[in-house]
Structures are given as structure tokens and as C-alpha cells.
Amino acid sequence: MGEKVVLGLSGGVDSAVAAARLRDQGYEVHGMFLELGLGGEEEARKAAGELGVPFHVAHRGQAFEQTVCAYFAGAYQNARTPNPCIVCNPLVKFRALTELADELGAPYLATGHYARTGRDGEGRALLLRARAKKDQTYMLYRLPRETVTRCLFPLGEEPDKDAVRTEARGRSLGVSEKPDSMDICFIPDGDVPGWLARRGAALPPGDFVDENGKVLGRHKGLHRYTVGQRKGLGVAAEGRLFVQALDPVKNQVVLSLHDVYRKTVRLTGTHYIAPEFAANGPFSCEVRVRFSAKSDRATVYPAGDTAVIAFDEAVRAPAAGQSAVFYDGDIVIGGGFIEDAAE
């Protein structure tokens, strides 16, 4: 039996194929299901049985509630647009994988994320973009380098998800036809306003205003809107309206007839997987301002745990609460949380 690896086994097709590949490569694979009180354990347990790997359950419901759900609700209450996976990965998911790996004496961690790892010329671990369009490094940029050093991402070289699903069928895995999860795991119906309301975290209605402060109508609560939004506003105008800004102090949604573009953005909570890029001051790179967005050329000006990004060309609708992630080619440098425009 080869070296041990603890793999996050969710009960989905990606993690099941990742486990099968690692087993074929000679690793002693241990599957870990992250129990958050959201269900899914039986599917993961069944997958472990089909794969013939030991199955472990990590109960992290309380940590998930305190670290991720509370963060998510608080961000919306402060007129921000959060991404919970970015907080969950380093503070809950990979922490649980690391703790079990240490307990079992396993040198490696693994997940079904579409990402890769490598080493630079000095032997330092690097987090690298996946080959597939479904690159998920945006969600992983806050991992500590010491965690990345231990990570294996068996799906990182795959061109697309279809190839993984085909392989699952070929292996006769029961999860091969399981649909992809498209929503936030703790809000499976996608109704974020409803979830916030049930927690008592929904915000009250207020005014839609134009950029001069003229009242245009009534909004349904700041948590229902994000910068750049143009659908579901319900305000008549001479042209298409866009959410230009959210003002939590005045409880106003500012609308305009022109789309939202920013050339400079301020970040807080910056984290560098590859801190050597920022060691000597400003650096040029590519930046993604949301998970689905393309990368844009920019210069980053680091200043402790804050930074300012100056884009070569203005980018559309960078929203407070989302992350801006820095890349040098395929290398993930790091990133931070978007605060506001920095003009």
C-alpha cells in the first residue's frame, strides 16, 4: 500500500473520480465526508463503499455556522456580495482535511476541485489554474501555502467535466449521473433573500435614487441587489437602468442609465499563496474580480493586508464583498476582498 491521502468525499462525481484515480495510482485513499447538517452522508458513504476506501465523517456543523453562515449573513447586512466557498475552504473544509490527515499520518490532502499544483525554481509550492474552463482556483486563493504543499488535485488536467462524467460511467460509479450542484450548499433552493429572512437578517425596504439623489421608487431591501445588476429592478426609465451603488447608511440603491465600470479597486484582507510576488512592492499580473469572469491585466499595489488594483482597462461591476484574485500566467499569487472603487 502506498502513501496515505485524505480526500474530501462529497458524494458527487468529481470527488468519486478523484478518489478512484488516486487509488489507481497506488495511494492509500481515505474518504472524508464533511458533515455540516446539510445531508449527503449516505451518498458519500455509498461512494466510498463502491471505491473500496475507508470512510470518515468530520462533524463541523458548529464551525460552519459560526465561520461561514454568520459571515454570509453579515456581509449582506452590510450591503456586500459574499462568496461563502472562499471562506469555507481554508477555515472549514481544508482545515478538517488537514486535521484528519495529521491524525492518520497522511502526508497528502486531496479534493475534486479543478485546480493543479506545482513547484517554482526554488522548490516552493504553487497553486496553478486547471486546464479546464471550470478552473476553481478562484475559490482556493486563501489557502495557506503549507496546505497547498500537501494538496493533490487529480482532476486538474482534465479539459472539461464531460470527460470526468464519462470516466465515472466507465467505472460504474453510482454517482455518474448525479447532477452538478449549482447553488450555495446551505441554500439549495437558491433563495438567498428567503434564507436571510428566516435568520432575521433581511434588510428593510428603502428608496431607489438616481446619482443626484432623486427618488425613483422603492427597493425591497439592499440584500436583494448587487452592483451592476440590471434585472428585477421594477423602475421605469427612459432606458435600461443599472445598480450603480448600494448605500447602507441611507438605505438607498443608486441607479443610473450607464453600466458600472471601475479602473481602480481597493482590497482588504489580502492573502498571498505566493508572497514573493508582492515582496518588492507593486507587481503586474492578471486579476479576476468574480468567479466566472475573465482575467484582466492590472498592477497591484500591496500595503500590508490591503491593496489597490489599477486595471489597464476598466472592468465591469467589481462588487464589494467579492474577491479579486491575482494570477501570473497559471500561478495563483493571492487576492483579497473588494471594498470599493479607489479613484
Catalytic residue among 69, 88, 151, 285: 88
| C-alpha span between 19 and 36 (Å, rounded) | 21
The residues facing 246 across adjacent strands are 253
Q: Any catalytic annotation for residue 85? A: no
H or E element at residue 218: strand 215-219
| C-alpha span between 47 and 14 (Å, rounded) | 11
Catalytic residue among 69, 151, 185, 285: 185
Find out whether 5 and 109 touch, Cβ atoms under 8 Å: yes
Distances (CA, A) of 219 to 50, 190, 222: 51, 20, 7
Q: One-letter amino acid identity for 208?
A: F
List the one residue out of 44, 46, 58 whose CA is nearest residue 100. 58
Sheet of 55-59, strands arranged across = 55-59, 28-35, 4-8, 108-110, 151-152
Cell of 156: 486538474
Cell of 227: 452592483
| C-alpha span between 277 and 285 (Å, rounded) | 10
CA atoms within 13 A on the CB side of 304: 1
| C-alpha span between 79 and 251 (Å, rounded) | 9
Which residues does the annotation mark as catalytic? Answer: 88, 185
